[in-house]
Amino acid sequence: MKQMTCALALVSAMAATPALAEDITITVWAGGSNDSDHYRIDNIKIAANLLSREAAIRGEELNITVEGKRDFDGWDGFKQAVTLGAEAGNAPNIVVTSHLDIAPWASAGYIVPVEDYVDLDAWPLNNVYSNLMEIAAFDGMQWGVPQDAESRPFFFWKEAMKKLGYTDDDMDAMAARVEAGEYTLRDMLADAKKAVDMGLVEEGYGFYPRVSNGPDYAQFYQSFGGELMDPETGKLVFDRTAMTEMYQFFVDAVEAGVTRKNHIGTEWDQWYSEVASGKAAFWHGGTWHYGRYTGKEGNDDFFGTIGFTLIPAGNEAGRANTITHPLVYLVTDQEDDRAEEIAAQLVAIASEPRLNTLHAIESSHLAIGKAEAALDLYAGDRWASEATEVLLPHANAQPNHPSYGAFSEAMFKGLEAAWTGVQTPEEAVAEVEAQLTATLGDELIIR
Amino acid sequence: MTTSLKGNWLLILALSLISAPLVIMYGFQLIDSVSRPAPGGIIPQEWELTNWRFLWERIDSARPSIWRVTLNTFVFASATALLVCAFSITAAYALSRLNFPARRFFLAGLIMLHAFPTITLIIAIFIVLQFLGLYDSLIGVILVKAALELPFGIWIMKGFYDSVPWEIEMAGVQDGASRFRVWRELILPQVKPGLSALLIFSFLAGWSEFILPLVLAPGADAQVLATYMNAVIADDTRPDYGLFKAIGMFYALPVIAVYLLFQKRLMNIYGGGTKG
Amino acid sequence: MNRQTLLGLGFLSPALLAVVMFFLLPVVLTVVFAFTNMSTSTGILGGEYQISESDLRRLPAAGVREEAVEMLAGADYAVRADTLALFAAEFGDKRAQELEALHGGASFDDRRAMERALKDLRRDPIRSVRERKAAAELFRISILGQRFPTEAAFVEAITALGIPEADQAALTEAAYTGWTFTTQNFELLWELPATWRYALNSALYVVLTLAFNVGFGLFLALSTFYLPTRTAQTFRAIWFLPRILPPVLYVLMWQWLTWDQGFISAILRPFGIEPINWMRHTATHAWTFIVLINGCVGASLGMILFSSSLRAIPETQLFAAQVDGANRWQQVRFVLLPQMRWPILFITSYQTLSLLTSFEYILLATDGGPGRQTEVWALAAYHTALSNYGGNLEYGLGAAYALALVIIGILLSALYLRFFNFRDLVAKPRIEQ
């Protein structure tokens, strides 16, 4: 009802208002962003410039001031700031955040659907990959627009592989073999063990996973046949067998001396420098790591030293997969409907292929739309092109469910308990199950 | 009563050993902020000031300038200290010397609040601030911090008032002065040392505060050094202990200066019992 | 009311106001929140009314009958006589006629499809996106996904849809997006295995840190007592600094000491010991450093208090002991320690409470890791209410955690009041007017 009256009011307002100078300030908060991600904010500034020019041609004077902020105390600080700010009625107009926030924030009324203000069938939004658009939708509404795409590949160090007996051709074919399920996590574990035994890498460096919680670990759950959400009912799924086998896999890796027992909590700085310099045989990361490996860590020959594939399947039940965790532009609920409208339009303009490519290449992310591949800047970047080709078609996302955060947190805490040997995988799974049953209740299907 | 020199040397040795980790940390805190160690090692290779670059350039274009943050921290700490002192000197005097209904009740309440899980109240505090329109503002955090420090401040000041001899007050009252005048002209000068100690203490407490500004004032306008430093550390793309330590050094300088100047008074007030 | 009362209350009131606003009121609110399901999804300051697609399957469990649910489901937009009439009134008869010719009788699942249908208008197209959206809204026949700011508006809408009165109450309750009162937080706390672990962790943390604090505080006080003033002062300064250094910096120093390429690893490497993260290697490592980090802060309090009590002991007693031929240990054991009973008791009881509720240093050092092994109760409250990677912060549950601490705090301090002779503390002022 509210939307309708607003829309009607707008229509009548439009007919009546003469050309008046309009000044509006749009604030943009970007979470999890560092220097190389500055286009998350700058693209909105460019968009504001374009929108003002368009207005000027129509004979309207529209002055948009864009204020950006991205120096938050990690994701926690950012989310606290946005939610508490929204409660206090001074939320920023546009937020750049994980798509997982859509469900809780929509249900709390902090954000408004972009589809209220922009035409999804028009350029540039009709150019955005539909599976990415899907990720920014919830409950049948388009809440946000993907800001970037990425994917979380599996990496291997080519020199170590060569010494293990893989030829260059073998390594080139690796991505296809992983995709077909011919090379599994268990094969990888065996290779990693060999690499440690042969002294190619130090003990604990055969398989060198991510050091903190993140979407990455849901990939391994999927590798062992786990499913995150039941498409029929929209409920979250806790697959006991898959979870146990996934925990067991990491426990086995520790027992084989391939992965360190205290690996979780390693400094990121140290982790990056180690994987970029070949201290580890196998690891997994994100497509944006390319920028870090070749930049700060000084790996000049990325393609000569590092190979990448999907996350291999773990067993028969599972599949090779990768999770994409796109950040999305969301428009927050404001008293002033006009601010919401301008914000949504800015978001749409910032999704122009040219603008988005600036961000994609600068920060080693992937394109959000088809047309970007045709731009020189994008096509000229070998990493962006290859990663798009190998990974993006197989990428799925974590479900937009209000309780997914609790699910993901519990899954990782259980993994950590098993990994560090505090509990056996079975005990850990049982505890996670008990906790999730208690907290999610009806919203969880146990398999 | 220092009789056995040998015994003293043993004692000093034992004390030095257990203090070694702390001393090492302090030492390298200083050294690492002005030098660069060999990769993977600890011995300084080169002496340099690049770690201090945050003073003259932005280490990340999105961060506010260090001077702005320092100013905020200073305003936050001093305003908190002034508020705590202003409210404590009157309230403590009332509790210590004046007889009024429900005094026992207030005193008991004070002692209870003194050891309260303040930080777990933070969501509720947010709602109150939001209601007052003070969320995400320096003023809001100042008020909250001052309120949370008050029970301690009043308790300390009450201790100081309690030790002022009754005779002074009696004499004043017998001369016909009002209780207010007695307080202002006779008693206040007596508790000055306590007041300055409390001022220093509350200033330091405000200067170090981390969680309250983190949660209640996340905006750029109200950043303080604690949240600034933590954000620099948390930003995982450029962890750099040299830089962290230089910022830490900068952050700690006023604390060390205050300590050197007011050592005795500080020891006094901490002896008065505080949050541990 | 006499003047003294007025003056007393007047002197008290500024402090009282601050404490009530930012201290007592939050306590009361915490108690209230503990009995709610408040979270990010429900919002803090009240909700609105909305039935979304995913709510439909939950409605039968909430007591809404199937037939009412079916009325809610179905297409969102339809081009039919009544909606066309609305459209004609706003956008003109001609457009309405054309649309009827093109799509009369059609229904659409979402607005995007409805907008596409409107784009088919050729004779006098609706060119502006905003107008087209407004036009599309006129064809909405379902309330799914719409937010109603008040209960009245929602009831009006479902009445218009023809939902029977019998189902309206249950439906309205299910549609409310804000928080509601519940006792499930406490049931949850009772059921979760983690609860007991956090409680145990807290107990472990308090006992170990306290033992360190009192033991070290005592050792420092006694040893510096026997040393020449300057030497004693140096050591006191070393141990006092952790207390006044900002926690963020202080913990950073420990991180540097313990991380894989940090000090401990570096000096142990020549001895063939593999570099590890000494703070996070295992739960035991983590606990050791948690106790050390907190202990070094807490020991100085003991040190200062004990030192001043020691200085208060008449020197003659010590001389007497010396004359009797007592060595230093015997002096400590038989002369000094017995007189330290009260300060020790005070530190113990005081720090029990403050340790129980403090978590700042743990948050900065291990954040409860590895594997939640160092997650103490107060930290669990903070994490539950304010920090969650997935974004759904559970304020209600967090408040329930906090409430437990509040109750323990009140009980313990009431106990201490009795114990430390409250009567003396509140002795009546001697000037009676």
With bands split at pLDDT 50, 70 and 90, how would you rate the model's confidence at B1?
very low
What's the confidence (pLDDT) of residue A282? 92
With bands split at pLDDT 50, 70 and 90, how would you rate the model's confidence at A276?
confident
Residues whose CB is less than 8 angstroms from the CB of residue B25 and which lie 6 or more positions away in sequence, other chains included: C253, C254, C256, C257
Cβ within 8 Å, pair A417-C371 = yes
Mean pLDDT of the C257-266 span: 80
Nearest CA in chain A to C154: A1
Question: Does pLDDT of B44 surpass 50?
Answer: yes
- Inside any domain, residue B146: yes
Instruction: Please state, as a whole number, how many other Cβ atoms lie within 10 Å of the Cβ of residue C162.
Output: 8
What's the confidence (pLDDT) of residue B220? 66
Cβ within 8 Å, pair C191-A434 = yes
Cβ within 8 Å, pair A81-B234 = no
Question: A327-332 and A144-146 as β-strands: parallel, antiparallel, unpaired?
Answer: antiparallel
What's the confidence (pLDDT) of residue A252? 92
- Inside any domain, residue B7: no
Q: Report the distance separating Cα A95 and Cα B170, nearest Å.
A: 65
pLDDT digits (tens, 9 = 90+) for A204-240: 889 999 988 888 899 999 999 989 988 888 889 999 9
- Inside any domain, residue B90: yes
What's the confidence (pLDDT) of residue A342? 92
Measured CA to CA in angstroms, residue C49 lies from A290, C36, C43, C153, C160 at distances of: 46, 18, 13, 9, 16
List CB contacts (< 8 A) between C381 and chain B: 120
Compare CB distances from C388 to A105, A264, A409 and report the shortest one's residue: A409
Measured CA to CA in angstroms, residue A352 lies from A123, A356, C182 at distances of: 8, 6, 47
- Inside any domain, residue B12: no
What's the confidence (pLDDT) of residue B166? 81
Report cis status (omega within 30 of 0) of the bond before C275: no
Can you say how many angstroms the Cα of residue C8 is from the centroid of all Cα atoms in its chain?
A: 36
Question: Does pLDDT of A17 surpass 60?
Answer: no
List the CATH number of the domain containing B171: 1.10.3720.10
What's the confidence (pLDDT) of residue B81? 93
Q: Report the distance separating Cα C88 and Cα C80, nearest Å.
A: 12
Q: Does domain C192-393 have CATH number 1.10.10.10?
A: no
List CB contacts (< 8 A) between B151 and chain C: 19, 23
B144 touches chain C (CB under 8 A): yes
Neighbours of chain B (3+ CB pairs under 8 A): A, C
CA A41, A47, A51: angle at the middle one, nearest 5?
A: 145
Mean pLDDT of the C367-379 span: 81
Cβ within 8 Å, pair B136-A90 = yes
Instruction: Please state, as a whole number, how many other Cβ atoms lie within 10 Å of the Cβ of residue C183.
Output: 11
Under 8 Å between Cβ of A75 and A32: yes
What's the confidence (pLDDT) of residue A5? 46
List CB contacts (< 8 A) between B86 and chain C: 14
Supply φ then ψ for residue A202, to 5 degrees.
-70, 160
Question: Does pLDDT of C158 surpass 90?
Answer: no
List CB contacts (< 8 A) between A34 and chain B: 60, 235, 237-238
Q: How far is B61 from chain A (nearest CA, A)?
A: 7
Kindly report which listed range (A142-156, A184-198, C33-47) carries the lowest average pLDDT score: C33-47
Q: How far is B239 from chain A (nearest CA, A)?
A: 6
Give the pair of three-digit tokens for residue B188: 């206040």
Token pair 């850990």 in the structure block, residue: A428
Kindly report which listed range (B204-208, C28-32, C333-337) carries the lowest average pLDDT score: C333-337
Cβ within 8 Å, pair C300-B270 = yes
Nearest CA in chain C to A73: C387
B261 touches chain C (CB under 8 A): no
**Which of C44, C213, C252 has the most B C-beta neighbours within 10 Å, making it the best mutation to test the interface with B?**
C252
Greatest CA separation found in chain A?
80
**Which of C33, C37, C40, C155 has the most A C-beta neighbours within 10 Å, making it the best mutation to test the interface with A?**
C40
Q: How far is A201 from chain C (nearest CA, A)?
A: 14
Cβ within 8 Å, pair A87-B63 = no
Q: Report the distance separating Cα C387 and Cα A97, nearest Å.
A: 15
List CB contacts (< 8 A) between B28 and chain C: 256, 263
Cβ within 8 Å, pair B91-C16 = yes
Helix (H) or strand (E) holding C271: none
Nearest CA in chain C to B126: C26
Torsion of CA B108, B114, B115, B117, to 10 degrees: 110
User: Which residue, A346, A340, A353, is CA-closest to A384?
Assistant: A353
Number of domains in chain B: 1
What's the confidence (pLDDT) of residue A13? 47
Compare CB distances from A141 to C134, C145, C282 and report the shortest one's residue: C145
Q: How deeply is C312 buried, as exposed, middle or buried, from its count of CB atoms within 10 A (0-12, 13-18, 19+)?
A: exposed
Q: Where are the domains of chain C?
A: 53-175, 192-393
pLDDT digits (tens, 9 = 90+) for B49-85: 777 877 777 776 667 788 888 999 999 999 999 999 9
Cβ within 8 Å, pair C7-B94 = yes
Q: How far is B242 from chain A (nearest CA, A)?
A: 13
Between A323 and B268, residue with greater pLDDT: A323
Cβ within 8 Å, pair A234-C116 = no
**Which of A35, A41, A210, A296 has the most B C-beta neighbours within 10 Å, making it the best mutation to test the interface with B?**
A35
Neighbours of chain A (3+ CB pairs under 8 A): B, C
Helix (H) or strand (E) holding A186: helix A185-197
Mean pLDDT of the B224-237 span: 78
Kindly report which listed range (A248-252, B117-121, C10-14) carries the lowest average pLDDT score: B117-121
Please give the model's pTM, rounded to 2 decimal places.
0.82
DSSP per-residue letters across A318-369: ---BEE---EEEEEE--S-HHHHHHHHHHHHHHTSHHHHHHHHHHTT-B-SB
Q: How far is B218 from chain A (nearest CA, A)?
A: 6
- Percent of chain C's residues with pLDDT above 90: 5
With bands split at pLDDT 50, 70 and 90, how would you rate the model's confidence at A279?
confident
Compare CB distances from C134 to A8, A265, A413 and report the shortest one's residue: A8
- Inside any domain, residue B107: yes
Mean pLDDT of the A297-309 span: 86
- At A412 the three-state DSSP class reads helix
Q: Report the distance separating Cα B185 and Cα B163, nearest Å.
A: 17
What's the confidence (pLDDT) of residue C427? 54
Number of helices followed by number of strands (H, E) in chain C = 22, 2
Find residues 314-373 of chain C whose CB sits inside 8 Å of chain A. Answer: 366, 369-373
Cβ within 8 Å, pair A262-C280 = yes
Q: Report the distance separating Cα C119 and Cα C121, nearest Å.
A: 5
Compare CB distances from A79 to C134, C261, C391 and report the shortest one's residue: C391
**Which of A5, A8, A79, A133 has the most C C-beta neighbours within 10 Å, making it the best mutation to test the interface with C?**
A79
Torsion of CA A257, A263, A268, A269, to 10 degrees: -50
Residues whose CB is less than 8 angstroms from the CB of residue A383 and which lie 6 or more positions away in sequence, other chains included: A287, A290, A302, A364
Cβ within 8 Å, pair C43-A404 = no
If you count them, how many residues does chain A have?
A: 447
What's the confidence (pLDDT) of residue A62? 92
- Inside any domain, residue B66: yes
Instruction: Please state, as a whole number, how many other Cβ atoms lie within 10 Å of the Cβ of residue A55.
Output: 17
Question: Does pLDDT of A9 surpass 50?
Answer: no
Compare CB distances from B276 to C253, C301, C382 and report the shortest one's residue: C301
- Inside any domain, residue B6: no
pLDDT digits (tens, 9 = 90+) for B123-132: 788 878 877 8
Cβ within 8 Å, pair A84-B238 = no
List CB contacts (< 8 A) between B235 and chain A: 34
Q: Which domain holds residue B120?
A: 59-271
Q: Report the distance separating Cα B223 and Cα B229, nearest Å.
A: 10
CB contacts < 8 A (A, B): 72
Residue type, C24: L
Compare CB distances from A439 to C47, C188, C366 and report the shortest one's residue: C188
pLDDT digits (tens, 9 = 90+) for C189-236: 887 777 888 999 999 999 999 999 888 888 888 888 888 888 888 888
Cβ within 8 Å, pair C247-B210 = yes
Cβ within 8 Å, pair C57-A234 = yes
Compare CB distances from A262 to C188, C370, C372 and report the shortest one's residue: C370
If you count them, how many residues does chain C have?
A: 433
- Give me chain C's average pLDDT, please: 82
What's the confidence (pLDDT) of residue A44? 94
Find residues 112-171 of chain A whose CB sits inside 8 Å of chain C. Answer: 115-122, 139-142
- Give me chain A's average pLDDT, please: 86
**Which of C54, C83, C141, C360 has the most A C-beta neighbours within 10 Å, making it the best mutation to test the interface with A?**
C54
pLDDT digits (tens, 9 = 90+) for B205-219: 899 888 888 888 877
Nearest CA in chain A to B239: A269
What are the structural domains, with CATH classification, of chain A? 14-149+326-396 (3.40.190.10), 154-323+403-446 (3.40.190.10)
Q: How far is A55 from chain C (nearest CA, A)?
A: 14
Cβ within 8 Å, pair B26-C241 = yes
What's the confidence (pLDDT) of residue B4? 55
List CB contacts (< 8 A) between A230 and chain C: none
Token pair 């995007």 in the structure block, residue: C112
**Which of B129, B224, B235, B247 has the most A C-beta neighbours within 10 Å, making it the best mutation to test the interface with A?**
B235
